Amino acid sequence: MFEESGLPLYKSLYEKLRRQIEEGIYRSGDLLPSENELSALYGLARSTVRNALDRLVNDGFIVKQQGRGSIVKGKAKGVGILSLKSTSSALGGNLSTRLIVKPEIRSWKEAFGYTISQNERDAGCIYFERLRLINNRPVFFDITMLPNINLPRFTMHKLENASLFDLLRTAYQIEVTGGVQHLYALKANKELQEYFQVKAGHPVLQLNRKIETNRPGMHIYSKVFCNTQEYALFGTF
Amino acid sequence: MFEESGLPLYKSLYEKLRRQIEEGIYRSGDLLPSENELSALYGLARSTVRNALDRLVNDGFIVKQQGRGSIVKGKAKGVGILSLKSTSSALGGNLSTRLIVKPEIRSWKEAFGYTISQNERDAGCIYFERLRLINNRPVFFDITMLPNINLPRFTMHKLENASLFDLLRTAYQIEVTGGVQHLYALKANKELQEYFQVKAGHPVLQLNRKIETNRPGMHIYSKVFCNTQEYALFGTF
DNA sequence: AATTATTACTTGTATATACAAGTTTTTTAG
DNA sequence: CTAAAAAACTTGTATATACAAGTAATAATT
């Protein structure tokens, strides 16, 4: 079944099930086929199936219950805090992104207070700024920096919506393994007042993150400002 | 070695290694004994050792590197956002907690906008409020609510520092499995102005959380206000 | 018909084995 | 002494097997 993909068997099964959940083939509350059924279906040992399911549990796609089965949750865990959600109504397809600074190669200046390694400094910095709008109203302003290590044609990709981590995972096999984050509440400065169309003194949420990946020594540095008046910064963990 | 504990073997090993890391027997950067060594040391199959190590990886205590070994990180992942850290200097032993409302049994009114199940409603609500001070200056004010299900003598325990989750894990075998959180920046109201000793208009960070546990249907509801002027809300993930 | 006991099915725990892939140390060759 | 090759480690992937523990469906009993 999975022979020619080059990926490990458990990873192929993980991606297949993940895709099926994201495409709605399995819906929230559904039971996945049992471990023995998946084992027979794809000709894998039960341990291999369990390895794939363990990762789906870790990523928040399913929960398991002894005696019952694997229950689909339907949505992935966020990366720390990343996802966003309306405080009032469901967030439809009204999310848009405006690139303030298109992805470009720079030299490193600073990384929001986090320390960067010599490797990262030598590689140079991919830098971009985005303003995100919900229903055409600006809600998030974020700055992202990452080292330019083995990322051919990165600046060619569109960086819209929340696709950065999907792009890194599917195109470069880079996965997020963890990180640290710092949160502040502050008053909007002039730049943010302009971006968010708010008055002086308006409270704004600031989120700084240093994100670890499965590439040793490669981190993603991110700074997000959020106008939480109508929309909250939302996350699952 | 672990026969009489009643716990599964992999869990006993997990707890043992976790304890050793937290007590500083293994320091950050150290290598744990290899899987084969642990296997021989405690008379366990390598799979069982790997099960324990996988959990240590998930909890952020170690990272593994193929060909090298299991490298100790030394600090656990926070529960979503929970830990706190000074923005200027290292946080010494100067953290103290003042119980504003001692743990008491109430009936449920609301749960910070989150929906609670009928089971939880029937069980009643354990409620408490805490003010946390760093160097005798108030920084966090939090309200916690959880259903009173099979928690004998809970209100007898001291709830100081960040011990709630340790208490639940060690005394009641309750572990956090995930959750959702919402973040806002807002201006301090009169109550918070008093608690934090700040002026009107001061920006304050608010964090609402619904935390899932390994007990199906049991959640912890938490609301935290934070004065981030000197200390940031800090978390690892 | 309702209750109880049994059975079948589910995930959880545990062991044993084998080889692949990556890293470090040791040995060997120059 | 240096550099390459080999060996001896490490974790990663994969299979096969067995029984325990929890849940759901079925059969038996009252």
Å from B101 to nearest chain A CA? 26
Rounded Cα distance, B231 and B85, in Å? 6
Residue A119 is encoded by which pair of tokens? 């490797």
- Asked if B232 and B218 touch (Cβ cutoff 8 Å), the reply is no
Rounded Cα distance, A49 and A14, in Å? 9
**Separation in Å: C28 C1' and A150 CA:** 36
Given a cut of 50, the residues of chain A with pLDDT beneath it are: 79-80, 82-93
Same domain, B10 and B63: yes
| Partners of A65 in the β-ladder | A69
Other Cβ atoms within 10 Å of A188 Cβ, number: 21
**B144 half-sphere exposure, CB direction, 13 A CA radius:** 24
Residue A166 is encoded by which pair of tokens? 């999907």
Judge whether B43 lies within some domain.
Answer: yes
**Separation in Å: C2 C1' and B216 CA:** 29
Judge whether A14 lies within some domain.
Answer: yes
Rounded Cα distance, B178 and B210, in Å? 9
Rounded Cα distance, B130 and A235, in Å? 24
Task: State the residue for tokens 């096999």.
Answer: A173
φ and ψ at A134, to 5 degrees?
-120, 125
**Separation in Å: D4 C1' and A122 CA:** 30
Judge whether A166 lies within some domain.
Answer: yes
Task: State the residue for tokens 């950067």.
Answer: B29
Judge whether A79 lies within some domain.
Answer: no
φ and ψ at A2, to 5 degrees?
-105, 10
- Asked if B128 and B142 touch (Cβ cutoff 8 Å), the reply is no
- A146: closest CA among A166, A127, A129, A161? A127
Average pLDDT, chain B: 84
Judge whether B61 lies within some domain.
Answer: yes
- Asked if B71 and B109 touch (Cβ cutoff 8 Å), the reply is no
| Partners of B144 in the β-ladder | B128, B222
Residue of B nearest to A231 (CA): B184
* Strand C contacted by A36 CB (< 7 A): yes
Please give the C-alpha separations between residue A163 and each of A82, A143, A148, A157, A170, in angstroms, as whole numbers.
11, 15, 18, 10, 10
> Domain holding A162: CATH number?
3.40.1410.10
Give the residue numbers spanning the domain of A16. Answer: 3-72
Rounded Cα distance, B202 and B198, in Å? 7
Domain count for chain A, please give it: 2
Instruction: Please list the alpha-helical segments (H only) found in A115-237.
Output: 118-123, 164-172, 190-196
Chain B residues touching A233 at Cβ < 8 A: 182-184
For chain A, what's the residue count?
Answer: 237
- Amino acid B85: pLDDT: 39
Q: Which nucleotides of D are covered by protein (CB under 7 A)?
A: 9-18, 21-24
> Domain holding B48: CATH number?
1.10.10.10
Task: State the residue for tokens 């369990």.
Answer: A50
Same domain, B218 and B127: yes
Same domain, A64 and A93: no
Rounded Cα distance, B191 and A167, in Å? 45
Same domain, A88 and A189: yes
Looking at B44, B72, B100, the residue that finishes a domain is B72
Residue A20 is encoded by which pair of tokens? 């099926």
Looking at A46, A72, A98, the residue that finishes a domain is A72
**A177 half-sphere exposure, CB direction, 13 A CA radius:** 18
Same domain, B114 and B33: no
Same domain, A99 and A63: no
φ and ψ at B61, to 5 degrees?
-80, -30
Same domain, B57 and B139: no
Give yes or no for B200 touching A (CB within 8 A): no
Q: Which nucleotides of C are covered by protein (CB under 7 A)?
A: 9-18, 21-24
Q: DSSP assignment of B80-140, as one string?
A: SS--EEESSS---S-EEEEEEEEEEEE-----TT----HHHHHH-EEEEEEEEEETTEEEE
Looking at B37, B72, B107, the residue that finishes a domain is B72
Q: Is A44 helix (H, G, I), strand (E, B) or coil?
A: coil
Judge whether B78 lies within some domain.
Answer: no
Asked if B181 and A81 come within 8 Å (Cβ–Cβ), the reply is yes
Give yes or no for B181 touching A (CB within 8 A): yes
- Amino acid A234: pLDDT: 78
**Separation in Å: C18 C1' and A87 CA:** 54
- Report the residue from A58, A207, A232 with minimal CB separation from B182: A232
Same domain, B123 and B65: no
Give yes or no for B29 touching A (CB within 8 A): no
Same domain, B66 and B91: no
Same domain, A60 and A115: no
Judge whether B77 lies within some domain.
Answer: no
Same domain, B61 and B150: no
Given a cut of 70, the residues of chain B with pLDDT beneath it are: 1-5, 75-95, 160-163, 170
Judge whether B79 lies within some domain.
Answer: no
Same domain, A203 and A106: yes
- Amino acid A174: pLDDT: 78
